[in-house]
Amino acid sequence: MKRLLICLFTALLAACGASKDNAGKTEITLMRFFGSCEAQYGQVVKTSEGVGECGIVTALVNEFNATNTDGIVVKTQIGEWGPYYDQLTARLVSKDIPTVAVMHESALGDYVRRKLVLPLDEDFKRIGVPVDDFTEHARRGTSFNGQTYALPFDTWAWLWHINTGLMKKAGLAGVDGQPTLPHSPDELLAQARQFKHRTGKPYFAWAVANETAANDRTFLTLVAQQNAQLFSADGKTINMHQSAVVNALTLMQTLYREGHVRPNLDYAAANQAFLNGEAGVVVVGTWTIDQFLRESQKPESKLQGAYTVRPFPQLYDKPAVFADGHSWALFKGGTKDAKAHEASVKFLKFVWDHSAEWSRTGHLPVSKTVAQSDAFRALPLRAALTEITQTGVGMPGNVPTQRGIELLIGEDVANVMISGKPIDEVQDSVERRVNKALKKARR
């Protein structure tokens, strides 16, 4: 009995201590991907000391928790990147709703249409987040029916990461050592043939196999550069039977058939082939800039002193490149009272105020002020990428289930290259499958 009383007394003291520690605190939850790195950055309380996506976002939350004077505590809940939206949906169904969650802007519209996220214009105006300072791409990605439904965090886009050493060897570099980029499909094919002849290597590495999104993003870029609209104005149907589609698929098929794309690579293998000096260009997103930069600074690297990056070159009538973005949304039911809601809005303001730090990942700013700043443009290789905040394009916001649609398109585009499937069959297949999916999509 005495031992039981001691245990009960100890438990009571612990509870009282915990109650005292939490007195006056307002806890909110933050659901995100970007990986887990608590061992390295769990105690870092300055965003400026974070490195990479995981390091910076972890330090960002830590700094807010350590410095805010309102007793707000942000509890991070880390989701896996691949099944992230399945995990998020399961939590919403079970009423285990996060206060704030990271969202791809291409996915945000589905949650807006289902009335699961909160409009934020009034909160932003009150707290001092200047919506007028959002870049064109960020504004388009977070606005629906004239209202803002998320805080944009970045713009990420499809880039050419270039081995300037191999380009010089191929005779495709200027006197300054910078690559000479093509300005038409014919110029691209001519360069690819010259590159292969002089280096014995393919011009491109990109994730053709088991990474259908890569094929879709290249395809959407080429179509957008022809000023063509794949989707109807209401977002309910896709039209694959137009000349821009044929042009894009023909170019991609020709590049692959002639051996200018290293064959059958998945995402990891494509990046590694580039790092190993086995291709002149890898077509992948902004998020690899830091990694490739670090590799190019290693004496033993095949990229040593020979790395640069450019927006996907303009091969047709207008500058355009596939782009998406990460954003932060507040979910209905994610807070129990006005105090918690206000805490979440204050956290978003903190994120906005520190958004320049996130640009160090390679992702592009969502603030026009940051994008035009000397500090951003002084970051390695960023000055040439600023245009994407205006030229970035994605699927229209009223197209539902965009990530699923992206996969459907990418699967058939891969067949154009890997198996040489006839282009007219791919047009028919994509149109049939995508329109079926759009018809079934919840609106």
Closest listed residue to residue 293, CA positions, set 360, 353, 193, 241 = 360
Confidence at residue 228, expressed as pLDDT on a 0 to 100 scale = 96
Burial of 115 (0-12, 13-18, 19+ CB in 10 A): exposed
Residue for token digits 């002020």? 369
Q: Which of 73, 77, 65, 99 is nearest to 32 (CA)?
A: 77
Query: What does the alpha-carbon distance between residue 217 and residue 164 come to, in Å, rounded to a whole number?
Result: 24
Angular region, 124: left φ>0, alpha ψ -120 to 50, beta rest? alpha
Tokens of 206: 């990109």
**Cα 384 to the center of its chain, rounded Å:** 18
- In whole angstroms, give the CA distance from residue 304 to residue 280: 14
Q: Please check whether residue 79 is in contact with residue 88, taking contact to mean a CB–CB distance below 8 angstroms.
A: yes
* Fold of the CATH domain 23-155+325-385: D-Maltodextrin-Binding Protein; domain 2 (3.40.190)
- Provide the pLDDT for residue 82: 84
Instruction: Give the 3-state secondary structure of residue 158.
Output: strand
Position 362 scores a pLDDT of 87
List, in sequence order, every residue forming a beta bridge with 392; answer none if it has no partner: 321
Do the two domains 23-155+325-385 and 157-323+400-440 of this chain adopt the same fold? Answer: yes
Distance (Å, rounded) from C-alpha 230 to C-alpha 414? 18
Domain residue spans in the chain? 23-155+325-385, 157-323+400-440
- Helix, coil or strand: residue 328: strand
Q: Which residues pair with 26 in a beta bridge?
A: 72
**Is 3 exposed, middle or buried, given 0-12, 13-18 or 19+ CB atoms closer than 10 A?**
exposed
In the DSSP assignment, the letter for residue 190 is H
**What is the distance between the alpha carbons of residues 54 and 73, in angstroms, rounded to a whole number?**
19
pLDDT score for 22: 53
- Residue 1 tokens read as 């009995």
- Inter-residue contact 100 to 344 (CB < 8 Å): yes
Burial, 393: exposed, middle or buried (Cβ in 10 Å; 0-12, 13-18, 19+)? Answer: buried
In residues, how long is the chain? 443
CA distance 2 to 229: 78
295 contacts 301 by C-beta, under 8 angstroms? yes
pLDDT computed for residue 389 by the predictor: 86
Is-contact 435 238, C-beta < 8 A?
yes
Q: Looking at the domain that runs over 157-323+400-440, which CATH code has it been given?
A: 3.40.190.10
183's tokens: 């300005």
Of 267, 269, 290, the C-alpha closest to 278 is 269
For each of the chain's 443 residues, which pLDDT tens digit applies?
Answer: 444 444 444 444 444 444 445 557 999 999 999 999 999 999 999 999 999 899 999 999 999 999 999 999 999 999 988 899 999 999 999 999 999 999 999 999 999 999 999 999 999 999 999 999 999 999 999 999 999 999 999 999 999 999 999 999 999 999 999 999 999 999 999 999 999 999 999 999 989 887 777 899 999 999 999 999 999 999 999 999 999 999 999 999 999 999 999 999 999 999 999 999 999 999 999 989 988 999 999 999 999 999 999 999 999 999 999 999 999 999 999 999 999 999 999 999 999 999 999 988 889 999 999 999 999 988 888 888 989 988 999 999 899 999 899 999 999 999 999 999 999 999 999 999 999 999 988 65
Calpha distance 12→134 (Å, rounded) = 51
